[in-house]
Each structure stands twice: as C-alpha cells, then as structure tokens.
C-alpha cells in the first residue's frame, strides 16, 4: 500500500471512530469488483451498438419492447450470476453493529442490482430503482413476475445485442393490454420521490458520508454529498479515479471499494 494511501485510510478511520450515523452513497463502481461493468468500462458486448441512453428509455421500450426487455433480462441474469464482494459484506456487518449501538448505517445506492441486499445489508434508498421488481408499463399495477435464473449457457454467451434471443415482455394481468417493465428509472424519468427524501434525511443526519464508486456527475444523486457536507458531515470518498467531488472531500482514498471498505471497518 502506498504511503499516501495509508495516510488517507488513517485519516478516514479518525473520522469514522465514534461516528454513530454513517451514510453510504454507492454507484456502479461499488459493483465493479463483483464483475458488473460500470457504464464507462462497458464499451463492449451489449453496450457496443447502443448506449444505455438510447436503450434504457421509455420511448425505446414502447418502440421495441422485445429488444429492451431482452436486454434488461440479460442484465438481470448477469447480476444474479455474480456474488457480492468483501466490501458489500462488510457494510452488512457494520450496519448490524451500529444498529445494536442505536446508530445507523444508511445505504443509498444508484445501483439497480441487489448486491447490497445479498451482502446482508438493508438498502434505505434505491435512487434508480431495482431490476428485480416489476410493474405494468401502461397501468402501473405492480406485478409479481419472478425472474427466471439463467442457464449456464445463457450466461456464458454474454451475447451482443444483435444476437440476443428476443423475448416479448410478459403481459400485465391487471389491464390485459399493457406489458410489464422493471422498476428502474429510465433515462428521462423522475427519480422516486420517497427514495430521494429518505436519502436527503439520511445524509443530513449523518456524522460521516462514505461516497463509494460513483462518478458524481449524475444528478440529483451527485447533490447528496454536498447536502451531507452542508449539514456538517465529514465526506470520505473511495474511488480509484478522481471525480468532481474528490477535491472537496475531507478524505479522498484512491483505491477500490473491495480493498478499502474492509480496511475502514477494521
């Protein structure tokens, strides 16, 4: 470990010592070491021909429901085929420990995967929704659709878009004419208001905000560390690459979530 890295971790530990309320803000980088690519890194395969901005929209879902559904389904199966890493697990343990001391570790994530939950942590706010719950695209009725796990062949294939086996989205059982979609926030859609309110409450009452694996450019999520800081929280950022937040963070740790979180918890 480089010396400046060691110093940063030591400084972060000082802020965390005795902290009763920790807000953890996570982005795609939190899941990278589990094998789920961040947008920036995902320049191959499924992302080569279409950017998420083109495909993950309500318009695309309405124009080409089978393509968008099959693409989302494939992402969901990939997510289910990987495991949470040590960083996810540590957050689960840390959360239980703080709760026993009447404190809190509130997780606010931009990720639509379920790796925090599978690391035995509760997520306070899924700002961009979740890939594993569904509703009707037309009438909004919640759906109890359950995702099928992928066969090893389907997973190994990691197909490109033009090789996807197209499946139609299942029909809604309530209105009969709509089809179902996952409860994720598509480009151009509003964030769930309750999740954003919960996130704001959590960061404003936090002693420390840990900002992990997010590029800090997607709004309004990027405003949360600023709100935390304005309310008096210390900001610790974990990201191998600098972001617009790094300079203003109280401590910036230039390493990965999987390396740093276990070090901070120790």
Q: Give the residue from 257, 190, 200, 262 showing the smallest Cα distance to 230.
A: 200
**Residues 112 and 131: beta-carbon distance below 8 Å:** yes
Judged by CB under 6 A, the residue of 8, 21, 27, 180 near ligand NAD is 27
Judged by CB under 5 A, the residue of 1, 139, 156, 231 near Zn ion is 139
Q: Is 257 in the site for ligand NAD (CB under 6 A)?
A: yes
Q: Is 119 in the site for ligand NAD (CB under 6 A)?
A: no
Judged by CB under 6 A, the residue of 11, 19, 20, 39 near ligand NAD is 39
| Binding positions for ligand NAD, 206-245, rule CB under 6 A | 212-215, 218, 238-241, 243
Q: Is 128 among the catalytic positions? A: yes
Q: What number of residues does the chain have?
A: 266
Query: What gap in Å lies between CA 163 and CA 84, rounded to an integer?
Result: 28
Q: Give Cα separations from 52 to 39, 206, 217, 262 (angstroms).
A: 8, 33, 16, 32
Q: Which two tokens stand for residue 242?
A: 């600098």
Q: Is 175 in the site for Zn ion (CB under 5 A)?
A: yes
| Secondary structure letter of residue 172 according to DSSP | P
Q: Give whichever of 27 and 178 is closer to ligand NAD, judged by the CB atom.
A: 27
Q: Residues with catalytic annotation?
A: 128
The residues of the shown chain that bind ligand NAD, judged by CB under 6 A, are: 27-29, 31-33, 36, 38-40, 110-113, 128, 212-215, 218, 238-241, 243, 256-257
């Amino acid at each position: 470990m480089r010396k400046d890295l060691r110093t940063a971790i030591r400084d972060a530990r000082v802020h965390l010592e005795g902290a009763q309320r920790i807000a953890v803000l996570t982005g795609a980088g939190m899941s990278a070491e589990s094998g789920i690519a961040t947008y920036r890194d995902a320049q191959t395969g499924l992302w080569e021909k279409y950017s998420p901005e083109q495909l993950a929209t309500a318009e695309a879902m309405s124009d080409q429901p089978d393509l968008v559904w099959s693409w989302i389904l494939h992402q969901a199966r990939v997510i289910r085929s990987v495991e949470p890493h040590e960083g996810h697990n540590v957050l689960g343990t840390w959360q239980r420990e703080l709760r026993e001391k009447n404190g809190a570790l509130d997780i606010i994530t931009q990720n639509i995967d379920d790796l925090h939950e599978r690391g035995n942590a509760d997520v306070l706010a899924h700002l961009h929704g979740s890939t594993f719950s569904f509703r009707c695209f037309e009438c909004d009725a919640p759906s109890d659709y359950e995702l099928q796990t992928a066969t090893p062949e389907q997973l190994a294939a990691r197909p490109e878009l033009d090789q996807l086996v197209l499946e139609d989205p299942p029909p809604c059982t309530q209105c009969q004419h709509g089809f179902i979609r996952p409860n994720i926030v598509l480009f151009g859609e509003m964030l769930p208001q309750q999740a954003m309110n919960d996130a704001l409450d959590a960061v404003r009452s936090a002693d420390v905000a840990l900002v992990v694996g997010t590029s800090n450019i997607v709004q309004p999520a990027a405003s949360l560390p600023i709100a935390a800081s304005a309310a008096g929280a210390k900001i610790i950022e974990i990201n191998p690459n600098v972001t617009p937040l790094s300079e203003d963070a109280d401590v910036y740790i230039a390493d990965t979530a999987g390396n740093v979180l276990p070090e901070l918890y120790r």
